[in-house]
């Protein structure tokens, strides 16, 4: 498998998302003392920093039980598939989308193993969740605006 320059771009996006996700959580936990104050209005009612401990996985499902390991493994497998897809792609928007989803998924793996979620909005997002959402929106946009079908296994075009 040849790793193209565009694929490396996706991997860099993923790594930046993971680092940003973890840095913002460390800042929320240590720098803002959010656990003590509970909530900091930023742009009420649209944006507030809120302390939330989620011992489960998505939306608190599974209550922190062993299912989190299954979801972590699933996220790693999906990320590996996305990493491979990045080596096959020749479209910058698709590469960006893949990097965002991969970074968000792997950022959440760190959470499943180590952290409780902190975030913003009533739905409680963090950087990893936001990256997945943005990545999926970019995937949809790419599929709508792309005039070239993705050919899996075809040699990528020179960029």
pLDDT in tens, 70-88: 888 889 999 999 999 999 9
Find the catalytic residue in 21, 111, 142, 147: 111
Look up residue 148 and give its DSSP letter: S
Give the start-end residues of each E strand in the chain: 39-43, 47-50, 119-120
More confidently predicted of 157 and 12: 12
Active-site residue, 111 included: yes
The three-state secondary structure class of 154 is coil
Active-site residue, 114 included: no
Find the catalytic residue in 21, 129, 142, 147: 129
Q: Kindly report the pTM of this predicted structure.
A: 0.77
């Amino acid at each position: 498998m040849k790793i193209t320059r565009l694929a490396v771009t996706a991997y860099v996006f993923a790594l930046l998302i993971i680092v940003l996700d973890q840095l913002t959580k460390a800042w929320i936990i240590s720098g803002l003392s959010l656990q003590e104050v509970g909530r900091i209005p930023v742009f009420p009612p649209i944006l507030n920093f809120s302390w939330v401990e989620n011992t489960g996985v998505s939306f608190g499902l599974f209550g922190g039980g062993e299912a989190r390991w299954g979801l972590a493994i699933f996220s790693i497998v999906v990320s590996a598939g996305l990493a491979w897809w990045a080596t096959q792609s020749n479209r910058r928007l698709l590469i960006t989308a893949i990097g965002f989803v991969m970074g968000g998924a792997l950022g959440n793996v760190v959470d499943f193993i180590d952290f409780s979620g902190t975030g913003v909005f009533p739905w409680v997002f963090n950087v990893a969740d936001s990256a997945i959402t943005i990545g999926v929106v970019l995937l949809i946009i790419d599929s709508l605006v792309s005039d070239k079908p993705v050919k899996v296994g075809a040699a990528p075009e020179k960029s």
